[in-house]
Amino acid sequence: MTQLSDVRAPGSLPGAPLLEVEDLSVVFTRRGRRDVRAVDGVTFSVRPGETVGLVGESGSGKSVTSLALMRLLPSRGVHVGGRVTFDGMDLLSLPRDSMRDLRGRDMAMVFQDPMSSLNPVLTVGRQITEVLRRHRGMHGDEARDEAVSLLSRVGIPDPARRFREYPHQLSGGMRQRALIAISLACKPRLLIADEPTTALDVTIQAQILELLRELVVDSGTSLIMITHDLGVIAGLCDSVNVMYSGRIVETASRYELFGQPRHPYTAGLLGSVPRLDASRGQPLRPIPGSPTDTLPWARGCAFQPRCANRIDRCALETPLLQVDSARRDADGTHWLRCFNPVASSTPVSAPGAPPAGLGASEGVPGSGPAVAASSEELPAGGLADVGAGTFDVDLGAAERGAPGSAPGSMAPEARAVEEGEQ
Amino acid sequence: MSERTPDVAPQEPLSAASDAALVEQSGSTGAAGRTTGAGDAPGAEPTSGEVLLEVRDLKVHFPITKGILIDKVVGHVKAVDGVTLDVRRGTTYGLVGESGCGKSTLGRAILRLEEPTSGSVFFGGADVAAMHGTQLRHTRRRMQMIFQDPMASLDPRQTVESIVSEPMRAHGEPASKKAQQARVRELLKLVGLPQSAAGRYPHEFSGGQRQRIGIARAIALNPELIIADEPVSALDVSIQAQVVNLLEELQDRLGLTYMVIAHDLAVIKHISDTIGVMYLGSLVEEATSDELYAQPLHPYTIALMSAVPLPDPVAEESRERILLTGDLPSPANPPSGCRFHTRCPYRQETRCDDEVPALREVLPGRKVACHWAEEILSGEIRPAESSRTVAAT
């Protein structure tokens, strides 16, 4: 399991991260106005073949983070601080020409609205071959054939015809596929997807998510998934960063995060989404206030005005992002920025008990076999192996771990939840 | 057209009850009609309430025209093509479907914001589709709408007081300005906005608060029916829940009947008593909220359900997902036979391609428009292997 080892601490583990973001900050300045600190001290890392999620509501700084990583923010009126290292290169101080070489070839991005990110006056094919010419030196028929095969790879029927068509002739889902085809043209090592399915219908969303999932598994691409949809995160991401008002407030593997949300904001988000598999009649538990009711981080916890767990300290001191001491058994992967977190045994999700095998290895992965599994998987090396082997290894660990780790397995906890909620 | 169609079984003396609701503060009448609420036992069927809204074979076709000087009609977009449904008083009817399936047009046609091509809409026994002039104005007072984008549906140059009191001014009820002001204050309190909001403008509010203003305007005249078109989809996750809870609370207190239109199946499931699933202009399945989730019968509903991501990684990995291929076909040129057959993972050699399935009762209270609903239910017909994926593999 990729998420068993420490996903954050830079340099502490041999599984060298592909992208390391340290203390990234983005400040928008405008003369005569107060500075706006959109991203504030964001730190995370992405390893080869890993899918990392950034979740948050509007204004949490998740999109600005991705634009800063790609150096796509305007140079005037924006101050970007911190360090971003991609494969050993410092992205923020890289010359513009080198950055242009990198962008599109090694790092690519998929945006939310395919209509506004495709050029309406160029054919889809032209927009794909542009990348192939620029980065891979392909020309003429060679580039054409490659572009058609990319279109068919992302599941566009009749790719030769679509190659000649303009973006307005494609449906929304197909445009998003075309955009993904463009971003895949150079087999990037890192793909940033900024709300790639928000504008799409659920059935199309499922198709696109399946495509991204296949991509990560087949080609070992690392993926940063930016979304506000917790369901998308739950199905796709190895580790999840929850952002609020420009800072990360909680980081954990997805099993940890959904099973044991510790930050009141994460718990609040989970409590406020209606669930398809919940029985009817359970009222939603919304977070009061709105995302604009924040306290500046410099003065305390930004979430304090909306927080149900707030204590006096929250308005006086700024909490730091630290390893969650109550979830040490989660292998130090659970990070938290909160003085008074949600009690460790009251997860909000999981109304039904999870399947024992799957839950066991995740709920308390500190047991021997699980750790062995993670170290087994690391030397495998090859990019594709990391992704493809993940699940098999996990299942194996669960089976082997089940007899030994019975007291710590998920089932008793799940029972505690149900009791606790009544 | 204004007569009730003979095939409809005569219900309660509708007019008497609804007239009472008109003059009365609707709290009392509604409470009587309401059978299942958010807090009541789930699974109880909302059958005992009288039918407030009956839609019979409603069609809305938009002409496609061509030509520069003389518009020649070259075809029709069949946005709504023969929808029949009942909404009982005090309950919530959820209409769900992908974009372009005609759910919004159906909602607007019920309020006569869109002129129906044919069919009828009985509201409290009278056919809205055949009404004119004063009668239509009077009926419209009893049915209101909540829109998706609160910023686009609130006039930026009017104060909140002016926005919320506009329906009262339009209908002269209550007549005095003083009474209207008092009512605005009462409404603001009801939707959870501060009294100071009355003098402010829409841009001063956040998205969730704006939606509350829209809701206050919609309930200003004590309507019986509220059609809410995507009421929460433009809002942040944490705010969505606040608005959903407010809608449920208002239903309990005022005895409102809702028709909620949304593409988000989880929201629809949470809020509705009965759910209608639409595909390309017609209903493909109708059932109570719990039954629909427990056992979707139409292939489209099955696929739709399995496409909704669950915020739970364990459940997400263990369930089987049925992926639909392709996009929604054009409603101007819908497929022959069953409209879903081009994307259906259960498609059969016979009947599907050339015979239009009728919406029929397969199980008690379960209406499905599929030739093979029984066989799919019994597991005799399985989805095509290519469309099935288990996320875990």
Q: What single string gives the DSSP state of each residue in A257-286?
A: HHHS--SHHHHHHHHHS--TTSPTTPPP-P
| 3-class state of residue A358 by DSSP | helix
Q: Which of A273, A284, A391 sits opposite B245 (nearest CB)?
A: A284
Alpha carbons within 13 angstroms on the beta-carbon side of residue A248 total 26
| CA distance to partner chain B, nearest, from residue A138 (Å) | 31
CA distance A371 to chain B (A): 20
Answer with the residue of higher pLDDT: A1 or A157. A157
> Which of B238, B289, B311 has the CB atom closest to A287's CB atom?
B238
Q: Tokens for B95, please give them.
A: 């209409």
At B17 the pLDDT is 39
Over range A49-76, report the average pLDDT. Answer: 91
d(CA B11, CA B52): 10
The span from the CA of B167 to the CA of B388, in Å, is: 51
Residues of B in contact with A243 (CB under 8 A): none
Place of tokens 């076709």: B61
Pair A240, A253: CB distance under 8 Å: yes
Cβ separation of A277 and B310 shorter than 8 Å? Answer: yes
Give the pLDDT mean for A159-180.
89
Mutate to test the interface with A, among B246, B275, B314, B325 (most CBs of A within 10 A): B314
Find all residues with CB under 8 Å of B268, minimum gap 6, and list them: B94, B95, B96, B260, B262, B275, B289
Cβ neighbors of B313 (< 8 A, separation 6 or more) are: A234, A235, A254, A255, A258
The pLDDT value recorded for residue B383 is: 85
- Chain B hits for A203, Cβ within 8 Å: 98, 303-304, 307, 323-324
Q: What is the 3-state secondary structure (H, E, C) of B320-366?
A: EEECCCCCCCCCCCCCCCCCCCCCCCCCCCCCCCCCCCCCEEEECCE
A75: exposed, middle or buried (Cβ count in 10 Å: 0-12, 13-18, 19+): exposed
Q: Which residue in B99, B265, B326 is closest to A276 by CB distance?
A: B265
> What are the C-alpha distances in Å from A61 to residues A241, A300, A416, B51?
12, 18, 35, 48
Res. A329 pLDDT band, cuts 50 70 90:
low
- CB B389 within 8 Å of CB B321: yes
Q: Is the pLDDT of residue A251 over 90?
A: yes
Q: Residue A261 is encoded by which pair of tokens?
A: 């949300």
Q: A328: pLDDT confidence band, cut at 50, 70 and 90?
A: low
For A58-75, what is the mean pLDDT? 90
State which of A348-352, A366-370, A391-395 shows the largest mean pLDDT. A348-352
Using 50 as the pLDDT threshold, list the residues of chain B that sit under it.
Answer: 1-47, 391-393
8 Å CB contact of A235 and B327: no
pLDDT band at A21 (very low <50, low <70, confident <90, very high): very high
Digit-coded pLDDT (tens) for A93-119: 999 999 999 998 999 999 888 888 899
**pLDDT of residue A407 exceeding 60:** no
Whether residues B324 and A203 touch (CB distance < 8 A) is answered with: yes
C-alpha to C-alpha distance for B208 and B234, rounded to whole angstroms: 9
For position A332, what pLDDT does the model report?
Answer: 65
Query: Do the Cβ atoms of B305 and B265 come closer than 8 Å?
Result: yes
Peptide bond into B174 cis (omega under 30): yes
**Do the bridges between strand B72-88 and strand B92-96 make them parallel or antiparallel, or are there none, so unpaired?**
unpaired
Report d(CA B374, CA B381) in Å as an integer.
Answer: 9
Judge: A276–B389 Cβ closer than 8 Å, yes or no: no
What local confidence, expressed as pLDDT, does residue B389 receive? Answer: 62
% of chain A with per-residue pLDDT over 70: 76
Backbone angle region of B14, left / alpha / beta, with phi > 0 → left and psi within -120 to 50 → alpha: alpha
pLDDT score of B314: 85
DSSP letter string, A379-393: GG--HHHHHHHHHHH
Whether residues B318 and A355 touch (CB distance < 8 A) is answered with yes
Q: What dihedral angle (degrees, nearest 10) is formed by the CA atoms of A384, A386, A387, A392? A: 120
Sign of the C-alpha dihedral, residues A311, A317, A322, A325? negative
What is the distance in angstroms between the CA of the first residue and the CA of the last residue of chain B? 57
Q: B51: distance to nearest CA of chain A, Å?
A: 22
State how beta strands B225-229 and B257-262 pair: parallel
Q: Are the beta carbons of A283 and B314 separated by less than 8 Å?
A: no
Strands A239-244 and A51-55: parallel
Determine the residue among A1, A170, A198, A201 to mutate to test chain B binding: the one whose Cβ has the most chain B Cβ atoms within 10 Å. Answer: A201
More confident residue, A291 or A363: A291
A288 contacts in B (CB within 8 Å)? Answer: 242
- Mean pLDDT, to the nearest integer, of A70-90? 92
pTM of the model: 0.77
DSSP alpha helix (H) spans, B35-176: 103-110, 133-140, 150-153, 160-171
Chain B residues touching residue A358 (CB < 8 angstroms): 314, 317-318
Which residues in chain B touch residue A234, judged by CB atoms under 8 angstroms apart?
Answer: 309-313, 316
Segment A409-421 mean pLDDT: 36
Decide which of A350 and B313 is more confident. B313
A222-227 and A190-194 beta bridge pairing: parallel
Closest approach of B317 to chain A, Cα-based (Å): 7
Bridge partner residues of B60 (DSSP): B80
Task: Render pLDDT for A205-227 as a digit per residue (tens, 0 to 9).
Answer: 888 898 898 888 888 899 999 99
Q: What mean pLDDT, rounded, does chain A reach?
A: 77
Residues of B within 8 A of A292 (CB-CB) are: 206
Query: Using CA atoms, how far apart are residues A283 and B270, in angstroms rounded to an integer?
Result: 9
Three-state SS string over A182-225 comes to: HHHCCCCCEEEEECCCCCCCHHHHHHHHHHHHHHHHHHCCEEEE
